Amino acid sequence: MNIQENKEFERLSRRVFLKRLGGAVLVISVAGLAWRMIDQGVFSTGKGPAYEAWNSSKDNLESGPLALVNDAILASNPHNTQPWLFKVTDSFIEIYADESRNLGAFDPMRREMFIGLGCAIENMMLSANAHGYNPKLIYKPSITEPDCIARIDLTPGAKKDSPLYQEIPHRHTHRGKYDTDRQISKSILADIKNLLQMRKK
Ligand X SMILES: Cc1cc2nc3c(=O)[nH]c(=O)nc-3n(C[C@H](O)[C@H](O)[C@H](O)COP(=O)(O)O)c2cc1C
Binding residues (CB under 6 A) for ligand X: these are 76-80, 112, 115-116, 119, 172-173, 175
Q: How many CA atoms lie within 13 A of 180 on its CB side?
A: 1
Closest by CA to 153, choosing from 87, 199, 200, 108, is 87
**Closest to ligand X by CB, 123 or 129:** 123
b or e along 122-149 (b: 16 or more beta carbons within 10 Å of the residue's beta carbon)? bbbbbbbbbbebebeeeeebeeeeeebb
**Closest to ligand X by CB, 112 or 122:** 112
Alpha helices in 64-162 (DSSP H): 65-72, 111-130
**Closest to ligand X by CB, 68 or 119:** 119
**Closest to ligand X by CB, 154 or 168:** 168
Distance of closest approach, residue 69 Cβ to ligand X, in angstroms: 15
Distance of closest approach, residue 137 Cβ to ligand X, in angstroms: 19
Distance of closest approach, residue 105 Cβ to ligand X, in angstroms: 15
